[in-house]
Amino acid sequence: MRTTQATTGKTRTGRRGRLHAFAALLAALVASAAWLLATPAAEAQQARKPPNAPKPVRVLFVGNSYTSANDLPAMVRALGAAAKPKVEFEIEAATPGGFTLEAHLAAEGKESPRARIAAGAFDHVVLQEQSLRPIQEPDKMLAAARVFAKELAAAKSGAVWYATWARLAKPETQADIDKAYAACLEATGGRLAPVGAAWRAVLAAKDEKDRVALHAADGSHPSAAGSYLAALVVYGALSGKDLDGLPARLVEPGRKVAGRPTEERVLVELEPRVAKLLQRAASKALEARKKAR
């Protein structure tokens, strides 16, 4: 009887030992499988985001159709992506047609520029006034600029003044436009993106072959080339990087929308000679601005 009990005890002990060993082996297999599945994803994430990679530059564009035409904000992002080294931008925009800066200040809701700025999420805010206000009502423009500047300072965001161009039929108004934006800069600080000055240089080129059609058919809004030139100046003002050698063809990469991949989008495609000419004009306008400080 004692022998049977001892044998049974040994059997139970052996069985428990085997179960423990099996459980330990199963746990090891599960852990190994999880590691194998996680490692490629982790490695891919590290490849996308190096540990010492600079943080993206967060930018809010506040303006109207002079900014939204041809998707200038996307062009700025594409220029950063094409630069060496790359400059990564995270961009948002508030660009309803015809809006003045005063109208943007009156906008309400969480998507309004003031609400977005107050959230403190942006490094820079690019401010573009309605095209005629610098000429016809510069005092109202300056008053709105002062309010924006105060709120930007509270949010620790920097202003970039997107100084626009004269209409095709009124080139003489460029001086008034430049003066109004310079007054905003002087009164409130920030940076100036002298887009109008770069446009004027191209449109007034002595050699006819160097004159590029920067206006759209309406003589007011930008053509694709006009937006490309504006994007170069804004990108230069934001980044301080060299513009030489940036691509003549800007694309927005494909991405997933609602789980489905989208194709890349061509934003602009210019002749290399034209792109080079516009890069030189943008660089000269930015350099002249530096010397004028």
Summarised one tens digit per residue, pLDDT across range 5-41 is 444 444 444 555 554 555 554 554 444 444 444 444 4
Q: Which pLDDT belongs to residue 21? A: 52
- Please tell me the distance from the alpha carbon of residue 122 to that of residue 116, in angstroms, as a whole number: 8
pLDDT by residue (tens digit) across 248-265? Answer: 999 998 877 777 878 899
| 2 pLDDT higher than 70 | no
- Please tell me the distance from the alpha carbon of residue 153 to that of residue 157, in angstroms, as a whole number: 6
Name the percent of the chain lying above pLDDT 90: 75
| 4 pLDDT higher than 70 | no
Pick the range with the lowest mean pLDDT from 31-45, 90-104, 220-234, 237-251.
31-45
Q: Which pLDDT belongs to residue 16? A: 54
Name the percent of the chain lying above pLDDT 70: 82
Q: Which SS3 state, helix, strand or coil, does residue 210 take?
A: helix
Better pLDDT: 124 or 4? 124
pLDDT by residue (tens digit) across 169-206? Answer: 999 999 999 999 999 999 999 999 999 999 999 999 98
- Which domains, and CATH codes, for the chain? 57-292 (3.40.50.1110)
| Residue environment code for 172-183, b if the CB has 16+ CB neighbours within 10 A, otherwise e | ebbeebbebbbb
Name every residue whose Cβ is closer than 8 Å to that of residue 72 and which is 6 or more positions away in sequence: 61, 222, 227, 230, 231, 234
Better pLDDT: 52 or 161? 161
The three-point CA angle 99-103-109 to 5° equals 110
pLDDT by residue (tens digit) across 73-109? Answer: 999 999 999 999 999 999 999 999 999 999 999 999 9
Q: What is the side-by-side order of every strand in the sheet holding 158-162?
A: 89-94, 57-62, 124-127, 158-162, 191-193
pTM: 0.82
- Please tell me the distance from the alpha carbon of residue 153 to that of residue 284, in angstroms, as a whole number: 29
Q: Which pLDDT belongs to residue 31? A: 46
First-to-last CA distance in the chain?
105
- 8 to 13, 18, 22: CA distances (angstroms): 9, 15, 21
Nearest to 230 by CA among 173, 293, 291, 279: 279
